């Protein structure tokens, strides 16, 4: 009997594997961190083989520790850190260079140049994305420009480009594919025509021979090599982590919003079958494609969410474990006027300032570790509140009557009660945490399960969603406006700090 779905959740700092049953409940899980590499300021890299080895290790571990054989797995679903870019040799399967991570800013100057040339509208109209180093296109161009012979090898069809979903699928099955959600994050994909865009490929000088086949988010794309898990298992679900989390949160009706508090923070609103163009520097992106129907999302991305807490731990050393931050922040009644803008790798939506850098303002002699910890947590909520304000403006401008009634929260930092309450206060609507907070993995599992008949319908999935805790807003409106005003002052002090190269 096929009892389980195996979800592979490949994130920016760790790889996870989770077994789900038919009730959408976690049966077993395993996780493993892998190294981050920072060759120089603004650069962030991963070793693709370290990613693969960590993902394979945890997948085998979760099966072994739960006493499950590969033959009992109905399908595998993959959710992945998006935009991270790698190129490998089709014959040897070896990467030609380290993967360039989504946080990497090495191509910021190229983006500034393209913006000055008036290319931003061409890119936004086709891809729905902001012209920024965040996305894969400029990263891929950089690799082809800087690895000797790479572009010529790419034109001969000797190389393969992929985001992490493509890399994992290739290692698992030998297939070179990506799903529509991940394709829509490359800045090379036309989200209206649902295909690679020839104008964008020309703009970035990307040979089409390099690109993966684009598939649906829920379909069987291949089976795993039998030696990996002792059986051939269908790989049947693929989605970028934030789209997967939106699906896992059952946000399948226009107007529903989820916010993931992971390494970054990612707020997504379901738009239905018709995209909405953003006028507030948000992203219009493909959510998923299931049974031939494409759902679109409006997204705001914050680069430093939970990673801000990691910096308190690894950079400042004021906590030894990330879980200690809530108690430290609670040791003071408020931030004492201290504001942290965690623009360590620039600012994401709605500012899109690659030259912003982290700032800590409002310090006095009375400031202590507790105030800094609290300011760090509050910064996560402030950034997310900015996204929601921009989202509501976009929806209103499009004359879409989509009332905001709640935000569904997930990700590691969603377990922080202080953060969730402060977020509800800033948004003015309830923030709801589900019983299963591993919604990224759950969404990948649902997409895979639908493809193989493990779950029959999306309605069945919707019925499985459960609330664990509801955080009601309690802050007076005037106080909320004061805090947001002070936050905006702090943001302005972080902007444009690192000047672009001449």
List the one residue out of 270, 289, 490 whose CA is nearest residue 391: 270
Q: Is 480 annotated as a binding residue?
A: no
In the Cβ-directed half-sphere of 300, how many Cα atoms lie within 13 Å?
A: 29
| 170 belongs to an annotated ligand binding site | no
Does 156 belong to an annotated binding site? no
Q: Name the nearest CA neighbour of 34 among 17, 20, 15.
A: 15
Distance between CA atoms of residues 5 and 2, nearest Å: 8
Q: Is 13 annotated as a binding residue?
A: yes
Query: Is 12 annotated for ligand binding?
Result: yes
Which positions ≥6 away from 85 have C-beta within 8 Å?
99, 100, 136, 139, 140, 143, 161, 163
Cβ contacts of residue 315 below 8 Å, gap of 6+? none
Is 497 strand, coil or helix? coil
What distance in Å separates the CA atoms of residue 183 and residue 176, rounded to the nearest whole number? Answer: 13
Residues 6 or more apart whose CB falls under 8 angstroms from that of 428 comprise 473, 477, 480
83 is in an annotated binding site: yes
Closest CA to 208 of 238, 181, 192, 186: 186
One-letter-per-residue 3-state SS of 11-45: CCCEEEEEEECCCCCEEEEEEEECCCECCCCCCCE
**Which are the contacts of 215, defined by CB distance < 8 A and separation ≥ 6?**
177, 178, 179, 180, 221, 238
Q: Please state whether beta strands 265-272 and 283-290 pair in parallel, antiparallel, or not at all (unpaired).
A: unpaired
Cis peptide before 23 (omega within 30 of 0): no
84 is annotated as contributing to ligand binding: no
Report whether 60 belongs to an annotated binding site: no
Using an 8 Å Cβ cutoff, are 458 and 23 in contact? no
Q: Is 374 known as a binding-site position?
A: no
Q: Phi/psi of residue 347, each to 5°?
A: -110, 135
The annotation status of 16 as a binding-site residue, yes or no, is yes
425: burial class by Cβ within 10 Å (0-12, 13-18, 19+)?
buried
| 428 appears as a binding residue in the annotation | no
Query: What string of DSSP letters covers 228-284?
Result: HHSS--EEEEEEEHHHHHHHHTT--STT-EEEEESSSEEEEEEEESS----SSS-EE
Q: Are 27 and 66 in contact (CB under 8 A)?
A: yes
Number of Cα atoms under 13 Å in the Cβ half of residue 399: 0
Quick check: 197 and 248 in contact, CB under 8 A? no
d(CA 403, CA 395) in angstroms, rounded, equals 9
Torsion of CA 109, 110, 115, 118, to 10 degrees: 150
CA distances from 217 to 38, 70, 295 (A): 32, 22, 11
412 annotated as ligand-binding: yes
Binding residues for glycerol: 82-83, 134, 241-242
Annotated binding site for sn-glycerol 3-phosphate: 12, 82-83, 134, 241
Going by the annotation, the residues of the binding site for ATP are: 12-14, 263, 306, 310, 412
Residues annotated in a binding site: 12-14, 16, 82-83, 134, 241-242, 263, 306, 310, 412, 416
Q: Which residues are annotated as a binding site for ADP?
A: 12, 16, 263, 306, 412, 416
């Amino acid at each position: 009997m096929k009892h389980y779905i195996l979800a592979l959740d490949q994130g920016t700092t760790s790889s996870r594997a989770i077994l789900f049953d038919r009730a959408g409940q976690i049966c077993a899980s395993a996780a493993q961190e892998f190294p981050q590499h920072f060759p120089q300021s603004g650069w962030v890299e991963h070793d693709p083989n370290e990613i693969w080895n960590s993902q394979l290790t945890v997948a085998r571990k979760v099966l072994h520790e739960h006493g499950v054989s590969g033959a009992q797995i109905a399908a595998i679903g993959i959710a992945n850190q998006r935009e991270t870019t790698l190129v490998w040799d089709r014959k040897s399967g070896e990467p030609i260079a380290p993967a360039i991570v989504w946080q990497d800013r090495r191509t910021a100057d190229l983006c500034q140049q393209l913006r000055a040339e008036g290319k931003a509208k061409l890119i936004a109209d086709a891809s729905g994305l902001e012209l920024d180093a965040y996305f894969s296109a400029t990263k891929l161009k950089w690799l082809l420009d800087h690895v000797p012979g790479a572009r010529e090898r790419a034109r001969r069809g000797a190389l393969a480009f992929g985001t992490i979903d493509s890399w994992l699928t290739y290692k698992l099955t030998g297939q070179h594919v990506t799903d529509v959600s991940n394709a829509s994050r490359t800045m090379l994909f036309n989200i209206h025509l649902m295909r690679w865009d020839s104008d964008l490929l020309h703009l970035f000088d990307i040979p089409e021979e390099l690109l993966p086949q684009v598939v649906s988010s829920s379909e069987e794309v291949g089976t795993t090599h039998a030696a990996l898990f002792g059986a051939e298992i269908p790989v049947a679900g693929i989605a970028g982590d934030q789209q997967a989390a939106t699906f896992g949160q059952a946000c399948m009706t226009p107007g529903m919003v989820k916010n993931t508090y992971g390494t970054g923070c990612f707020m997504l609103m379901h738009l239905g079958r018709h995209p909405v163009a953003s006028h507030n520097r948000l992203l219009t992106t493909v959510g998923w494609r299931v049974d031939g129907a494409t759902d679109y999302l409006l997204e705001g991305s914050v680069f430093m969410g939970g990673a801000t807490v990691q910096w308190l731990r690894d950079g400042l050393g004021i906590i030894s474990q990330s879980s200690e931050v809530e108690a430290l922040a609670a040791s003071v009644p408020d931030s004492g006027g201290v504001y942290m803008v965690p623009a360590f790798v620039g600012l994401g939506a709605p500012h899109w300032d690659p030259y912003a850098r982290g700032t800590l303002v409002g310090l006095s002699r009375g400031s202590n570790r507790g105030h800094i910890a609290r300011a760090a947590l509050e910064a996560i909520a402030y950034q997310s509140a900015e996204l929601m304000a921009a989202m509501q403006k976009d929806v209103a401008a499009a004359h879409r009557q989509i009332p905001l009634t709640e935000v569904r929260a997930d990700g590691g930092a969603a377990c922080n009660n202080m953060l969730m309450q402060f977020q509800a206060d800033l948004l003015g609507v309830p923030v709801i945490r589900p019983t299963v907070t591993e919604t990224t993995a759950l969404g990948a599992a649902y997409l895979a399960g639908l493809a193989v008949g493990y779950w029959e319908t999306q309605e069945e999935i919707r019925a499985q969603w459960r609330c664990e805790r509801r955080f009601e807003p309690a802050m007076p409106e005037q106080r909320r406006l004061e805090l947001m005003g002070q936050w905006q002052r702090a943001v302005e002090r972080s902007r444009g700090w690192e000047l672009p190269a001449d």
